[in-house]
């Protein structure tokens, strides 16, 4: 923002929480110190014509800096641009912060040759780590850093709040449920939290969060969705407008979506899990087949951010009920359990056991086995191994999963190398393994050795491949 710059409109745009205003205020302070003749006045916009304030504080012929923070929330912002074009100033610079979704509408109203744009992206993981480990937090433990980075998702404001919580509690488990912290976060930019907490607002946000983006012009489809959750169409549209004014949602090209991913996760959790204002059973019944990826995108982040036990308590009964209805359909079951296995671990292992037992061992070869032997096991994913692999990350049923895996390759030897690849991919040595005294690796080796000692020499092949990996070699010796 140099004094001799020809640019008159300086845009800083980005998502919420990336410190757009801080980026602008510091250069303003430095600029004013260097150019004493520049006038600067701060005033609060009172939702009236902005021209009244301009006429009161700005005089022709003088130098001014005008700072419009969150310009997309200023109803009459275009009056400022029109005023600039109609008056003669000494030098005028207008600094503008604006959310991503509203930037293009404001930018198009400014003279392109006089406009500069600074695009603020989410902070990188390394930038967030610098904040977390710096003063006043001094958090150097990588386990704490990983959780803070994952939850904050590039938002420095959330990263700071999480860091304060971590320093205050001195317990990483305090970061396993941060729903209260998110509610505190809203206090930073929403004055009327009671209005936000209105049940219809939360229900509307829950629907939007699940579908990611909702086209409010596709009335027939939207009516069907809203009917499933007992939300009147007109009431939903009113809620969307209110939430848009709070900048919780943004509307672009008739699509409404929640402005930040971590906030979307929070509202899904609030509506379907914590408050149960929307029925998870209804969600499964109507949308499980066609929107499985959205279930994955909503459930897993909610589980990781707000605590697996709270999520499990809310969704497990509905999941069991739904699985009972589809368990006879192998394809649907694989697809369903690939997302929800964590909440149905016993049911998943029982399902896999029954599936594996449909294969013949050194006997009649069934059609499933013929299909397996014809395909390339190195390039195509086997659904049974993929589902078993979910348990390899360290679930309590780890040994059972290993046993089933070995039983599977006894019946389908063609998949032996695929299983070895899965071990190499998922049973690698990580920092968390040291905390559990290498339980995963030890359990795998114990299971293999037990098979070999019982006279099954075919497992020597698996053992030799696994033990060749350097960390395993060191572990064995």
DSSP letter string, 36-48:
TT-EE------SS
Domain that holds residue 143: 125-176
In a domain, 1, yes or no: no
Contact status, residue 433 vs residue 440, Cβ threshold 8 Å: yes
326 and 427 share one domain: no
Domain boundary among 296, 320, 338: 338
Q: Residue 258: beta bridge partners?
A: 249
Q: What is the mean pLDDT of residues 88-93?
A: 64
Domain boundary among 75, 94, 119: 119
61 and 154 share one domain: no
**pLDDT for position 327:** 95
Q: What is the mean pLDDT of residues 433-441?
A: 74
355 and 464 share one domain: yes
375 and 462 share one domain: yes
Domain boundary among 310, 338, 366: 338
Q: Is the preceding omega at residue 24 within 30 degrees of 0, hence cis? A: no
Nearest to 313 by CA among 354, 272, 351: 272
From the number of C-beta atoms within 10 Å of its C-beta (0-12, 13-18, 19+), residue 299 rates as buried
- Say which residue, 22 or 1, is predicted with more confidence: 22
**pLDDT for position 279:** 98
Contact status, residue 74 vs residue 50, Cβ threshold 8 Å: yes
**Domain tally, the chain:** 4
- pLDDT tier for residue 49 given thresholds of 50, 70 and 90: low
Which of 39-43, 58-62, 131-135, 166-170 has the weakest average pLDDT?
A: 39-43
211 and 106 share one domain: no
- 183-226: pLDDT as tens digits: 777 666 555 667 788 999 999 999 999 999 999 999 999 999 99
Residues 6+ apart with CB under 8 A from 336: 288, 292, 322, 323, 326
Distance CA 273, CA 276 (A): 5
The CATH number linked to 18 is 3.40.50.300
> Positive or negative CA dihedral for 373, 374, 380, 383?
negative
In a domain, 328, yes or no: yes
In a domain, 81, yes or no: yes
Question: How many DSSP H helices and E strands does the chain contain?
Answer: 26, 8
445 and 372 share one domain: yes
441 and 423 share one domain: yes
DSSP category for residue 342: G
Distance CA 384, CA 81 (A): 62
Distance CA 423, CA 439 (A): 14
Alpha-carbon distance values, 148 to 36, 77, 157 (Å): 42, 37, 11
- pLDDT tier for residue 43 given thresholds of 50, 70 and 90: low
DSSP category for residue 275: S
Q: Quick check: pTM over 0.95?
A: no
- 95-147: pLDDT as tens digits: 777 766 566 666 666 777 777 777 767 788 998 999 999 999 999 998 899 99
236 and 140 share one domain: no
In a domain, 130, yes or no: yes
In a domain, 4, yes or no: no
171 and 183 share one domain: no
């Amino acid at each position: 923002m140099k004094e001799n710059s020809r640019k008159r409109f300086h845009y800083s745009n980005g998502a919420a929480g990336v410190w757009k205003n801080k980026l602008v205020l510091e250069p303003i302070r430095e600029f004013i110190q260097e150019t004493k003749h520049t006038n600067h006045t701060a005033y609060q916009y009172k939702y009236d014509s902005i021209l009244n304030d301009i006429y009161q504080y700005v005089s022709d012929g003088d130098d001014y800096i005008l700072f419009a923070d969150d310009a997309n929330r200023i109803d009459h912002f275009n009056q400022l641009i029109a005023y600039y074009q109609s008056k003669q100033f000494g030098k005028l610079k207008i600094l503008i912060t604006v959310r991503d979704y509203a930037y293009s509408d404001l930018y198009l109203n400014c003279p392109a040759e006089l406009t500069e744009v600074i695009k603020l992206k989410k902070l990188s993981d390394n930038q967030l780590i610098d904040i977390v480990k710096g003063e006043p937090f001094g958090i150097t433990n990588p386990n704490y850093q990983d959780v803070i980075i994952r939850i904050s998702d590039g938002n420095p404001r959330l990263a700071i709040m999480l860091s304060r919580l971590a320093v205050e509690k001195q317990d990483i488990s305090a970061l396993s449920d941060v729903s209260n912290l998110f509610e505190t976060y809203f206090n930073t930019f929403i004055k009327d939290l009671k209005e936000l907490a209105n049940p219809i607002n939360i229900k509307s946000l829950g629907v939007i969060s699940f579908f990611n983006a909702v086209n409010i012009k596709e009335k027939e489809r939207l009516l069907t969705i809203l009917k499933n959750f007992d939300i009147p169409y007109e009431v939903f549209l009113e809620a969307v407008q209110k939430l848009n004014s709070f900048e919780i949602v943004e509307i672009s090209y008739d699509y409404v979506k929640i402005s930040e991913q971590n906030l979307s996760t929070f509202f899904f959790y609030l509506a379907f899990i914590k408050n149960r204002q929307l029925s998870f059973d209804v969600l499964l019944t109507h949308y499980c087949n066609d929107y499985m990826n959205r279930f994955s995108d909503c459930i897993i982040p909610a589980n990781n951010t707000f605590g697996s036990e709270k999520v499990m308590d809310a969704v497990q009964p509905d999941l069991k009920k739904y699985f009972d209805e589809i368990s006879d359909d192998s394809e649907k079951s694989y697809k369903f359990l690939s997302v929800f296995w964590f909440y149905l671990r016993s049911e998943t292992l029982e399902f896999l056991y029954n599936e594996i037992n449909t294969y013949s061992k050194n006997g009649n070869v069934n059609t499933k086995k013929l299909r397996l032997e014809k395909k390339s096991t190195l390039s195509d994913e086997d659904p049974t191994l993929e589902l078993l692999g979910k348990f390899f990350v360290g679930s309590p049923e780890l040994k059972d999963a290993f046993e089933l895996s070995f039983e599977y390759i006894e019946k389908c030897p063609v998949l032996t190398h695929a299983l070895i690849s899965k071990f190499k991919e998922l049973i690698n040595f990580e920092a968390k393994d040291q905390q559990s005294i290498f339980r995963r690796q030890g359990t795998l080796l114990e299971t293999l050795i037990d098979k070999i000692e019982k006279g099954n020499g075919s497992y020597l092949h698996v053992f030799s491949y696994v033990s060749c990996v350097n960390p395993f070699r060191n572990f064995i010796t």
